[in-house]
Structure 1
């Protein structure tokens, strides 16, 4: 019954999500959008595409004979015609690869001080760029920006040389401004890491640069998330359930111990791999920086390592220090699981995967919690029943002895 309810809930959730996306796409479209410049209607662009993230749009006219590309890039920043919005926007072409580094960017923002618009060019040479002004590797003319109806629009004419191909690698992005109008680092999760795609200038076909649909894929971040969810979020709690409840039955001794150790060691091995991918993300060219998530992850890995090492100093059952070892082992183990589950949801918040992944892990976690509650109640009942039987037997034995 629970599986049926979960399936229906998941189906309704996905249906609602799909409907919301469809409605959003039907209301936010580039088709027949009028451009106003100095109260004069600009000529319509021959092509337009709804970009697959950040609710952005590209209008363009491409001339193969002259290799000239006229573009109008629309990006919502909010604020309508009211106060200035502290956000910069970028549209760029990367002539060499499908990545951020190497992109030749057109930058625009509305000053948070007086609302004036600024538009300029910026070559992206590193992941830590502050969008400094500079010349691009191709010619750009008629560069300007406008603000209307909560959108910043970048206009430009670009001389593109694509060596007989009709495809360009485009990058579009948004990020915050400091109080003095200096661009700051954009978010490193969600749509901000999905805003790259190739564009066929003749057909208008867009292909995401990562070859995916925006959900969990094969990138380092996604691999990191899947491995750690399996380790700290599923296998580790399962190992605790085995240790706490299977050993309640005398016939399961010592099988429960080997099951528990096997499950926890498997979880730890996965955890080591997850920690390694996390180090690669923070130290590699991506230089992804989420201090809270990283610190909690390092703490979890350290505590789990202590748990594994504790197996080699585990006192025997009748040892006088065994009770202290049990207190340490149980407290560190439960703390590791609690921090692990919290950090998984912190990772969901950072990565922003499709809802089916959140719901899926939520269902697994709910199943573990329900199992824990049911088994806890069952063992308490059986324990009470055993004590009552033992007391009755003791009373009968005492009565026989008196007789």
Structure 2
């Protein structure tokens, strides 16, 4: 009992410590902070709002001239790069972003990047469509926060803003030509510069993309392995095991086929370069079609060809499941869905693996 009480006491202490750290790093718009000592332009009359509540991002901006706008973005300092992008349609591809970071030796760096594609190799430094005012860029840290400041020469900045934070401790280096590593998290919102209202942007294709991923996950990544488990470990229940196996695999194939078609729809809409993901998906579909055809030409039990048919059917199924699981995780990364998708699918896989291990031990003992 004393140990249980000690554990709960420790949890409460840890929670209070985390809340204290967050409160120390948090910044409110009504905070009386003087930025003029660090920023290259006047910041006294800037509009202010929290734009990414989960990450405690605070954006300040003001129209400083007829064709001049000032921006100051702040966030908790996590030894990562900080980015503010401007998009015409709320999407990453085709937008431009100001990115800032500070090396361990104190050297500060601010660069404009052109976001040509989601592939980090296509995120080009020293490129973009933003007309940045000369000598207006600054990035600095204070009180466990990082600040990115710059000015744009434009009549009206684009209203769709993109926010992103880089991976922990992985800053761009000269060795990699200052290429950005894939962001750790991102958000997007539309900003009305007159009223200051900010609304989260939801991509019109997000639903289709997630449906594509969910169907493939259910079909190729969950139902297909379950069907294989039924076929291997429940043969004593003949012919129920066969009809169950066949029914599960048919539904798996149909789910996967619809998900495969939606993948091409998504690719056509967002013009993303997902060659490897697509090619693996085509391979999985081909293997699935071959499995369906193999059932139609299944030799009779006891015949000589049946041995070779079994070898092909079993191994082709195993290969398909391996490729499917790998491509599902790869697709989650490409879709930038975050830890919730990774975690959910990983838990499902772990449960299926535990069940398979228990059933395999039972099968070995029976033999």
TM-score by length of 1: 0.64
- Who is 1:391 aligned against? none
- Cα distance in 2 for partners of 1:322, 1:146 equals 72
Structure 1: 5+ residue runs without aligned partners? 1-14, 80-84, 385-403
1:268 to 253, 270, 283: 253
- Who is 1:198 aligned against? 190
Structure 2: 5+ residue runs without aligned partners? 1-11
Deviation of 1:56 after TM superposition, in Å, equals 4.4
Deviation of 1:322 after TM superposition, in Å, equals 0.8
Contact 2:216 2:328 in 1 (8 A): yes
SS at match of 1:321: helix
- Who is 2:26 aligned against? 29
Deviation of 1:287 after TM superposition, in Å, equals 1.6
What is the CA deviation profile of residues 144-173 of structure 1, one whole-angstrom value per residue up to 9, with x for unaligned ones? 1123228462222665449xxxx9321245
- Cα distance in 2 for partners of 1:102, 1:283 equals 15
TM-score by length of 2: 0.70
- Who is 2:6 aligned against? none
Change (3 A) 1:240 1:180: closer
Contact 2:172 2:181 in 1 (8 A): no
- Who is 1:48 aligned against? 49
SS at match of 1:315: coil
2:159 to 168, 175, 186: 168
Contact 2:85 2:163 in 1 (8 A): yes
What is the CA deviation profile of residues 347-374 of structure 1, one whole-angstrom value per residue up to 9, with x for unaligned ones? 4455454545444434433443343344
Counterparts of residues 273-312 of structure 1 (less than 5 Å): 273-280=258-265, 285-289=270-274, 291=276, 293-294=277-278, 296-312=280-296
Change (3 A) 1:305 1:238: same
Change (3 A) 1:24 1:309: farther
- Cα distance in 1 for partners of 2:109, 2:355 equals 59
Counterparts of residues 385-396 of structure 1 (less than 5 Å): none
- Who is 2:207 aligned against? 218
- Who is 1:236 aligned against? 224
Contact 1:245 1:379 in 2 (8 A): yes
Change (3 A) 1:140 1:346: closer
* Greater Cα radius of gyration, structure 1 or 2: 1
- Cα distance in 2 for partners of 1:20, 1:267 equals 47
1:326 corresponds to 2:310: yes
- Cα distance in 2 for partners of 1:34, 1:344 equals 48
State the aligned residue count: 340
- Cα distance in 1 for partners of 2:333, 2:351 equals 22
- Who is 1:396 aligned against? none
Change (3 A) 1:40 1:261: closer
- Cα distance in 2 for partners of 1:346, 1:335 equals 17
- Cα distance in 2 for partners of 1:159, 1:301 equals 49
Change (3 A) 1:75 1:294: farther
What is the CA deviation profile of residues 357-401 of structure 1, one whole-angstrom value per residue up to 9, with x for unaligned ones? 4444344334433433444455555x56xxxxxxxxxxxxxxxxx
1:344 to 311, 328, 332: 328
SS at match of 2:303: coil
What is the CA deviation profile of residues 181-226 of structure 1, one whole-angstrom value per residue up to 9, with x for unaligned ones? 8564663x752xx4321124466443221179xxx96141x22321
Contact 2:25 2:76 in 1 (8 A): no
Of 43-52 and 260-269, deviating more is 43-52
Deviation of 1:303 after TM superposition, in Å, equals 2.6
- Cα distance in 1 for partners of 2:363, 2:318 equals 19
- Cα distance in 2 for partners of 1:238, 1:20 equals 44
